[in-house]
Amino acid sequence: MKTTLLALAAALALAGTARADDTRVLVLPFNVLNVPESQQWIGKGVAENIVADLGRSGDMFPVSFQGAVIVEDNATAARLARNAQTSLAIRGTAQVVGNDVRLTAQI
């Protein structure tokens, strides 16, 4: 998973979105599909890993979202990013199938 998270950071940098004035990134909990409610903690864990990895990169200053809500639309993600005084938000989904987890992230 670490390789995936570093690739996400590299994609931000290559896309030109990681300018000096917008390096604060809000990381929202991921929505975990096809699991019972008791396993939704996985989405918070994914977000925490992203925060940790981006923080270690030194190029970005991730902000962890502490709410219990799962954000499923871009408008809500943008509003939360503005409220957190960040210019970017990362949200996504995780699909658990057996021992595999598939992540899809949106910036």
| C-beta of residue 78 within 8 angstroms of C-beta of residue 17 | no
pLDDT for 17: 54
Distance CA 16, CA 11 (A): 9
Residues in the chain with pLDDT values less than 70: 1-22, 67-69
pLDDT for 19: 55
Q: Which residues pair with 73 in a beta bridge?
A: none
pLDDT for 14: 44
pLDDT for 78: 85
